[in-house]
Structures are given as C-alpha cells and as structure tokens.
Structure 1
Amino acid sequence: MFMGEFQHTMDSKGRLTMPAKFREGLGEKFIVTRGLDGCLFGYPQAQWNQLEEKLAEMPLAKKDARTFVRFFYSAATECEIDKQGRINIPQSLKAHANLDKNCVVIGVSNRIEIWDESKWQDFSEVAEESFDEIAENMIDFGF
C-alpha cells in the first residue's frame, strides 16, 4: 500500500527521485501513464496487470471506452529506478502533468501519483474546503 506525500525536485534531465518509502513496493520497473486531474499515475507491475485485465473487458463498441483506453495506454511507459532512486519521465508525460522542477509524489493505495507542486497545492486546497461534503457523499459507495 502506498500512502504519504513527498516533495522532490526534478533535475534538468527530467529525472525524479522516488521516495525511498515507495521504492520496494514499486519494484525495479513500474508503469507510469497519464492520470486524472492533471497528474501522472504510477503502478507496480502486478497492479498494472490487474488494470490491464479490467481495461480489456471494456466494450469496444462504446466510444468513451475506446477513447479512455487509447488515452491511457498511448502514454504508458515502463520506468526503471536507477541506483540513485530516480526515474526518467518522458517529455510527453512531463507535458501532460506540467512537471518542471518542484514535484509532489503521493501514495494512493495501490498506485502513486506524481504532481506539479503548485497544481497539487491548488487541488489540495479545493479538496480540503469540500472534504466534509465529499465524505458525506462517500456513503453512496458503502464507506
């Protein structure tokens, strides 16, 4: 399980240090792709395999399903953690998440998310303001 929030700086070559706390769970190689809300999602190989199975079951006749699967897979890339604990993020993914220098890596249960620091701060402020209301709505999901 991944949890916590960690600030890291991306170097000029596009390398980002993965939090030491996450490295074992991610494994030597893991998958990074476009996420929702303007961030990147990172999945350990086992979680990615489970997600692939679910995506393969999506109905090809539905345009939204085709679009989502294309968007999700087209940017997916295997990242390898180097000896210094860093990964190299491709330019297309950096552009999607507006990653430049200051980044935040958060743990979200079975995945990690990589955010531009200012975008994460904006998201967090809005979410905090409506957290009680969101929590009340979670009852619909059996929470």
Structure 2
Amino acid sequence: MFMGEYLHSMDDKGRLIMPAKFRESLGETFVVTRGLDNCLFVYPMEEWRILEEKLKSLPMTRKDARAFVRFFFSGATECGLDKSGRISLPQNLREYASLEKEVVIIGVSNRIEIWSKENWDSYLKLTADSYEEIAETMEELGI
C-alpha cells in the first residue's frame, strides 16, 4: 500500500527520485500514465493488470468508454528505477502534468500520483474547503 506525501526535484532530463518507501512495492517494472486532475498515475505491474482487465470489460460501443481507454493507454509507458532510485519520465507525460522542477509524489493506496507542486497546492486548497462535505458523501456511499 502506498501512502504519504513527498516533495522532490526533477532534473532537466526528466529524472525524478522515487521515495525509498515506494521503491520495493513498485517492483522492477511498473506503468506510468496520464492520471486524472492533471497528475500522473503510477501502478505496480500487478495493479496495472487488474486495472487493464477492468478497462477491457468496458463496452467499446460507448463513445466515452473508447475515449477514456484511448487516453489512458496511449499515455502509458513501462518504466523502471535506475541504480539511484530515479524514474525517467517521458516528455509527453511531463507536459501533461505540467511537471517542472518541484514535484510532489503521493501514495494513494494501490497507486502513486505525481503532481507538479503548483497543481498539488492548488488542488489541496480547493479540496480542503470541501473535505467535510466529501467525507459525508463517502459515508453515504458506505465507505
């Protein structure tokens, strides 16, 4: 399980140190793709395969399902860590998530999210104001 929030710097080549607490659970190879809310999602291979099976079951006759699957899979890339514990992020994913120097890496249960610090700070500010309302909605859903 992934949890926590870490601030790291990305170098000019798009290399980013993955928090030590996340490295073992990621395994040798993992998948990075476009996430929601303008961040990147990082999945260990086992979690990626589970998600892939779920997405395969979406009805391809639905336009929104086709669009989501295209968007999600076309941005996906298989990655690994170098000897320094860094991940090298492709340019297209860095641009999608507006990643520059300061990057926030968060653990979200079965995945990791990579955010630009600016986007993360904005998201936190926006969400913090409605945190209690969100909690009430989750309770209504039985969570």
TM-score normalized by structure 2? 0.98
- Give the corresponding residue for 2:135: 135
- Quote the sequence identity (%): 59
Task: Report runs of 4+ in structure 1 exceeding 2 Å deviation.
Answer: none
1:125 aligns with 2:125: yes
Structure 2 unaligned blocks of 5 or more: none
Provide the aligned C-alpha RMSD in A.
0.6
1:60-114 C-alpha deviation (Å, 9 max, x unpaired): 1000000000000001001110010001000000000000110000000000000
* Corresponding residue number in structure 1 for 2:102: 102
The count of aligned residue pairs is: 143
Where 1:54 maps in the other structure, the secondary structure is: helix
Structure 1: give runs of 5+ residues left out of the alignment: none
Superposed CA deviations along residues 19-66 of structure 1, whole A, max 9, x for unmatched, are 000000111211000000000000000000000100000001000000
Letter in 2 for 1:103: V
2:20 paired residue number: 20
TM-score normalised by L of structure 1: 0.98
**How far apart are the structure 2 equivalents of 1:17 and 1:79?**
13
Matched with 2:90 is 90
